[in-house]
Amino acid sequence: MKKRDIQLLGDVKCFIDGNLAKELYVKDICTEFGLNKNKLQNGFKFLFGQTIHAYIVRQKMQQASEMLRNTNNPVKSIAVDVGCRSSNFHINFKKTFGHTPEQFRKRETA
């Protein structure tokens, strides 16, 4: 992998981290950075060990877990704040942490 590609993929990662509250799509990221889909997805997985989608979901769930620990905001509000639809949020949160957001909050703040 070329040094320029590594830098560009690092920029993609920073872009994702800075835009977690938005719905992020691979095609939009490709357009933003002038990369084709295969190069973006394969390079990201090679450098960071996971797909772009998995990275986005993981980062959103990490952000949500912090909000569940440190705020009293309703779960629906937190889902919106991290850029998720409520049903997807619950599914992804449980896959990531093994508990629903409500169960997680009870365990972490007890």
Which residue segment(s) compose the domain that 45 sits in? 3-55
pTM of the complete model: 0.89
Out of 55, 72, 98, a domain closes at 55
- The residues, ordered by sequence, that sit 6+ positions from 90 with a Cβ below 8 Å of its Cβ are 79, 100, 101
Residues 17 and 33 in one domain: yes
Rounded mean pLDDT of 28-48?
94
Give, in degrees to the nearest 5, the angle at Cα 26 between 21 and 29: 75
72 pLDDT exceeds 90? yes
pLDDT attached to residue 109: 81
| pLDDT of 17 above 90 | yes
Q: What is the pLDDT, as a whole number, of residue 1?
A: 81
Q: Is the pLDDT of residue 65 over 80?
A: yes
110 pLDDT higher than 80:
no
Reference 93, options 81, 107, 79; nearest CA is: 79
Same domain flag for 48 and 72: no
Q: What is the pLDDT of residues 74-90, one digit of tens each?
A: 999 999 999 988 779 99
With contact defined as beta carbons under 8 Å apart, do 6 and 46 qualify? no
Average pLDDT over residues 16-29: 92
State pLDDT tens for residues 5-16. 899 999 999 999
Q: Are residues 36 and 72 in the same domain?
A: no
pLDDT confidence bin for 97, thresholds 50/70/90: very high
